[in-house]
């Protein structure tokens, strides 16, 4: 069973003078454990597609199903809880809570899920170790570099144990070194723990690390390529 199924998805923005057809009938399925990049020129609909898949916005027509749950017809209240428990989000501008420490930022989402203290602490310690940030546990985000902040954001997204993680241009604000570190960490999580990632990007080097590349143009899928890659290739 696919994790995400997108059927005949259309989105038209009507707030503008001329309606914008951001998505024009997209059909896609994502399996558990995928590591997928969504690419395409600016304005092709990448963000719009990710928003629909993440339940952050409603499509004009079409259906998004997440493991049997049709999120396009969920009530607003239900959808909030569904996002909390099923979808991890990583944003271009990190979006950590500045008044909380790294540890508290990661715990925050688990607290929303009413996890117990012990479980939260163990998970924070484990995730920060994976992300190589154990020494920053009690630091506030503004004392971290962009790359470090984005790694905390990945840890936060993972903390809630989501079915998959959506990331809209997660590396757009990072330098190439931080980009490599982040992507390698994501790839490692994908390989070792079977975490499903769907991310959008403009960056050729990021695309190269993906195992599937979906290209959009004018709100349509124009290519969908699965590339088989070796570990060596990824590390070169």
Partner 1 sequence: MLVQIAWRNIWRNKIRSLVIIIAVILGLWGGIFSDAFMQGMAEQQVYSSIHTETGHLQLNAPGFLLNHDMQLRIGDADSVVEQINRLPETEAAAATIQITAMASTASSSTGIIVNGIAPDTYAKVSDISKLMVNGDYFKNDRKNMVVVGQQLADKLRVKLHSRIVLTLQTVTGDIIYGAFKIEGIYRTHNSEFDKQMIYVQKDDLQSLVGFPSGAASLVRVLLQKDDDTKEVAEKLRSQFPAEQVQTWIELSPMQQVLSGTMTQMTIIFVGIILIALAFGIVNTMLMAVMDRTREIGMLLSIGMRPSKVFGMIVLETVFLSLTGAVVGILISIGTIYWFGKSGINLSMIAQGANAMGYNSVVYPTLGAGFYFQLAIMVVVVAIIAGLIPARRAIRLKPAEAVRGD
Cβ distance to ligand ATP smaller for residue 46 or 209: 46
Other CB atoms within 10 A of residue 132 CB: 12
Name the β-bridge partners of 215.
Answer: 39, 223
Cβ distance to partner 1 smaller for residue 155 or 213: 155
Three-state SS string over 6-65 comes to EEEEEEEECCCCCCEEEEEEEEEEECCCCEEEEECCCCCCHHHHHHHHCCCCCCCEEEEE
Give 108's Cβ-side CA count (13 Å radius). Answer: 16
Site string for partner 1, 70-89 (x = CB under 8 A): -------x--xxxxxx-x-x
As a whole number of angstroms, the distance between CA 48 and CA 23 comes to: 7
Q: Which of ligand ATP, Mg ion, partner 1, none has residue 44 at its interface (CB below 5 to 8 Å by kind)?
A: ligand ATP
Cβ distance to ligand ATP smaller for residue 47 or 178: 47
Q: Residue 62 interacts with ligand ATP (CB under 6 A)?
A: no
Q: Residue 137 interacts with ligand ATP (CB under 6 A)?
A: no
Total residues at the site for ligand ATP (CB under 6 A)? Answer: 12
Total residues at the site for partner 1 (CB under 8 A)? Answer: 29
Stretch 8-37 residues interacting with ligand ATP (CB under 6 A): 13, 15-16, 20, 22
User: Could you tell me if 141 and 105 are in contact, meaning their C-beta atoms sit under 8 angstroms apart?
Assistant: yes
| Span from 34-42, 105-113, 181-189, 215-223 in contact with partner 1 (CB under 8 A) | 105-113
Q: Residue 45 interacts with ligand ATP (CB under 6 A)?
A: yes
Residue 68 sits at φ, ψ, to 5 deg, of: 80, -15
Cβ distance to ligand ATP smaller for residue 19 or 132: 19
Rg (CA), the chain: 18
As a whole number of angstroms, the distance between CA 226 and CA 18 comes to: 36
Closest distance of CB 30 from Mg ion, Å: 19
- Largest interatomic CA distance in the chain: 53
Q: Which residues form the interface with partner 1 (CB under 8 A)?
A: 47, 51, 54, 56-57, 77, 80-85, 87, 89, 91, 93, 95, 97-100, 104, 107-109, 111-112, 156, 160
């Amino acid at each position: 069973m696919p994790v995400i199924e997108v059927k005949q998805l259309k989105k038209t923005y009507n707030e503008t003078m001329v309606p914008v057809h951001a998505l024009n009938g997209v059909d896609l399925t994502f399996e558990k454990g995928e590591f997928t990049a969504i690419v395409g020129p600016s304005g092709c609909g990448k963000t719009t597609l990710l928003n629909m898949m993440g339940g952050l916005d409603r499509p004009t027509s079409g259906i998004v199903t997440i493991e049997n749950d049709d999120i396009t017809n969920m009530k607003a209240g239900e959808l909030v809880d569904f996002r909390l428990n099923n979808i991890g989000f990583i944003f271009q501008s990190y979006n950590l809570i500045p008044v909380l420490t790294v540890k508290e930022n990661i715990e925050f989402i688990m607290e929303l899920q009413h996890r117990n203290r012990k479980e939260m602490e163990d998970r924070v310690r484990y995730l920060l170790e994976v992300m190589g940030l154990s020494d920053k546990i009690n630091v506030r985000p503004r004392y971290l570099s962009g790359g470090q902040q984005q790694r905390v954001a990945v840890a936060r997204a993972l903390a809630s144990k989501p079915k998959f993680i959506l990331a809209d241009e997660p590396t757009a604000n990072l330098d190439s070194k931080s980009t490599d570190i982040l992507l390698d960490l994501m790839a490692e999580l994908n390989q070792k723990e079977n975490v499903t990632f769907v991310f959008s990007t403009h960056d050729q080097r990021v695309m190269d690390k993906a195992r599937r590349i979906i290209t959009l143009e004018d709100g349509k899928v124009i290519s969908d390529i699965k590339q088989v890659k070796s570990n060596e290739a990824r590390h070169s």
